[in-house]
Each structure stands twice: as structure tokens, then as C-alpha cells.
């Protein structure tokens, strides 16, 4: 059966201290994306190899020093053997215990390093519970080590929720996937009703700033990656694919508003007619607007607001 959904895949424990002096073993991968069958790219015998991960629950086992009597008990071998949110802990044998919480916050942004892959001699942890209290196991350059987590500020309020990009052209001929919704009002938790695999599904939206990235053609000596989304950029800047991923001042969107939408016959979008998800998908001077049962790039209306 599939593993419980609350289990987190992590690399098997490995003592990397031997790799400082040992000749590295052969490497099959550089990161998890190069592995199949839900495997992870992990250090095994000082080489990076795709292996089935250990699966652990969040939290860490309590640090309890106890005398065990009459004999240690072994009720579990891994977290998946324990009910609810309990973890399999080395306390008087192997028993299920309620975990202590992990520290709040997230790992600092990883600079990716020059090689783009871990070096086994620099892997000092594989999971948060390998670290002392208040630290997390984070990738940093070519290292993976215990660091103080970063407490992220609240997300910017100027970000606009939009559907994830999706190539709807395949939906003209494909059989539609199952639909969970017809419009955003049927979604909860700030999700949007979007076309995914040619079916309408409630999904967490992408969040973007107004404007579009400038169309700049430049030669890059070496790409830099300062951001992954608009929320990583200060002020009104956007995260643009220019010499990697960098923050730029956007070009303004066209003035005006979308024409009034008649809603179409069915009252919901049809995935084969969704040709854009945000204004920046359109050529300069057009906006991405709902139109009938579709969503497409049109010239904006610059008179009185037709939506009211």
C-alpha cells in the first residue's frame, strides 16, 4: 500500500565524515529530479545514488533518559508503524511517542552552488531531527547542514492570484479530466478553479505582481538565480527570466479593463478555450480576460467600466 500522506521522504542516515578522506563512489544523480519511482538522490558510500527514501513524520523524538525495566520493548521499526502523529523513538527499545515540534520557520534560500549538486563530504544531516533543538537540516550550496531557520515575513499584499500556466491546446483533442469546480467561488482555502490535465480543479494559485517582465535580449556570462517568484522581489519588482532568474522593474500593463463577460452557455470555463492565465501571457496592449466559456487575450475596454 502507499505510505501514509503525512510521512516525509528523507535520505537514509549516512556518516559523511568518512568521505573527507575516501575516494568518492560513482554518482548516478545530482538531485532528486534525476531519480524515478519516488526515489531520492542520496549519499551512499560517498557517491550520489538514487535510493528508496526513509519516510518520517514531522517532529522529533523527546530526549528522555530513563532506566528500562524489566526489558526493552520493540513495538515499531519506523514512524509508519505508529498511529496518528506519533513517531517510532529509541526509548526503552523502540516505542511510539508523541513528538516534540520542529522549530518554526523555513530553510534559508539555497544559492544552488556552482556545481548544482551536493558533495557527500559536506552532508552533515538528512532530516531535522539530526540537528540540535532550534535548528533545521537545510541545503546550502554544495552542503547540507544544520542551521537556524529563517522566519519568513507575511506574503506581500500586492500579489495577484492567477492559475498556474497550462497549455490548453492539448484539450481540443484530449478527453477532459474530472472537474471539481466551475468557478473560484466553489473552492476553499483561497484556491482557484483552474484547468489541470484538461479538467477544472481547485488548486493553490500562483501569485504575481502587476506588470510584465521587460523583453530584454542579452548575453549572460553566467546566469544568476536571485528569485523563484515575484514574492521574492522587493517593492514592485517581478522575478524575470533574464540571465537566469532576477528581479526587474516591470513594464506596465495596458490601461483599461476587460470587456463584460456573458458567462457562456454553461456558466463555467471550458479548458480547451483557456488560452491565457495572466496578462503577461498576452502580447503588449492586450489583457487576459474571461470571454464566454473561455479565457483569452483581448484589447481592453478603455471607456466606462463595462463590468458594472
Q: Where do the domains of the chain lie, and which CATH numbers do they carry? A: 8-58+101-147 (no CATH), 62-99 (4.10.75), 160-209+253-298 (no CATH)
Q: Name the 3-class secondary structure at 240.
A: strand
Query: CA geometry: angle at 182 spanning 181 and 188, to 5°?
Result: 45
Q: Please give the pLDDT value at position 96.
A: 93
Backbone angles phi, psi at 87, to 5 degrees: -115, 155
Task: Please count the residues of the chain.
Answer: 308
pLDDT for the residue numbered 268: 66
Q: What is the pLDDT of residue 271?
A: 81
pLDDT of residue 302: 79
Q: What is the pLDDT of residue 308?
A: 44
Using alpha carbons, select from 70, 94, 71 the residue that is nearest to residue 82: 94
List the Cα angle 104/138/245 in 5-degree steps. 100
| Calpha distance 207→232 (Å, rounded) | 11
Q: Is 82 exposed, middle or buried (0-12, 13-18, 19+ CB in 10 A)?
A: buried
pLDDT of res. 76? 94
pLDDT of residue 238: 92
Determine the pLDDT at residue 27: 80
CA 58 to chain centre: 17
Q: How far apart are CA 102 and CA 100, in angstroms?
A: 7
One pLDDT digit (tens) per residue for the chain, 308 residues: 555 667 889 998 888 777 877 777 778 888 888 888 889 988 888 888 999 999 999 888 888 777 777 778 889 999 999 998 999 998 888 999 999 887 778 787 765 544 456 678 778 888 888 888 888 888 876 778 888 887 766 666 788 899 988 777 777 777 776 778 888 888 888 898 888 888 888 999 998 998 889 888 777 878 888 888 898 888 899 999 888 888 999 988 778 888 877 655 555 677 878 888 888 888 888 888 887 778 888 888 876 555 44
- Give me the pLDDT at residue 114, please: 47
Of 66, 28, 69, 70, which Cα lies nearest the Cα of 50? Answer: 28
Q: Closest Cα partner for 22 from 53, 49, 43?
A: 43
DSSP 35-64: --TT-EEEEETTEEEEEPPEEE-SSB----
Residue linked to cell 535580449: 217
Amino acid at each position: 500500500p502507499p505510505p501514509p500522506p503525512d510521512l516525509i521522504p528523507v535520505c537514509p542516515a549516512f556518516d559523511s565524515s568518512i568521505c573527507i578522506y575516501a575516494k568518492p563512489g560513482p554518482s548516478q544523480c545530482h538531485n532528486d529530479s534525476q531519480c524515478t519511482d519516488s526515489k531520492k538522490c542520496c549519499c551512499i558510500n560517498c557517491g550520489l545514488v538514487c535510493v528508496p527514501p526513509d519516510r518520517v513524520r514531522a517532529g522529533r523524538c523527546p530526549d528522555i533518559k530513563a532506566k528500562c525495566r524489566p526489558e526493552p520493548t520493540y513495538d515499531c521499526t519506523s514512524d509508519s508503524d505508529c498511529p496518528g502523529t506519533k513517531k517510532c523513538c529509541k526509548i526503552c527499545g523502540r516505542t511510539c511517542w508523541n513528538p516534540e515540534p520542529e522549530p518554526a520557520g523555513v530553510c534559508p534560500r539555497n544559492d544552488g552552488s556552482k556545481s548544482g549538486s551536493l558533495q557527500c563530504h559536506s552532508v552533515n544531516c538528512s532530516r531535522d531531527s539530526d540537528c540540535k533543538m532550534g535548528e533545521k537540516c537545510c541545503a546550502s550550496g554544495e552542503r547540507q547542514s544544520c542551521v537556524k531557520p529563517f522566519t519568513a515575513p507575511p506574503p506581500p499584499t500586492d500579489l495577484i492570484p492567477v492559475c498556474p500556466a497550462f497549455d490548453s491546446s492539448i484539450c481540443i483533442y484530449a478527453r477532459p479530466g474530472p472537474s471539481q469546480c466551475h468557478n473560484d467561488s466553489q473552492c476553499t482555502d483561497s484556491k482557484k478553479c483552474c484547468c489541470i490535465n484538461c479538467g477544472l480543479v481547485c488548486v493553490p494559485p500562483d501569485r504575481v505582481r502587476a506588470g510584465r517582465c521587460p523583453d530584454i535580449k542579452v548575453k549572460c556570462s553566467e546566469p544568476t538565480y536571485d528569485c523563484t517568484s515575484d514574492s521574492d522581489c522587493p517593492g514592485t519588482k517581478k522575478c524575470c527570466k533574464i540571465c537566469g532568474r532576477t528581479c526587474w522593474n516591470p513594464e506596465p500593463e495596458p490601461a483599461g479593463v476587460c470587456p463584460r463577460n456573458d458567462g457562456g452557455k454553461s456558466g463555467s470555463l471550458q479548458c480547451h478555450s483557456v488560452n491565457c492565465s495572466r496578462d503577461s501571457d498576452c502580447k503588449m496592449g492586450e489583457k487576459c480576460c474571461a470571454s464566454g466559456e473561455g479565457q483569452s487575450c483581448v484589447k481592453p475596454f478603455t471607456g466606462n467600466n463595462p463590468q458594472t
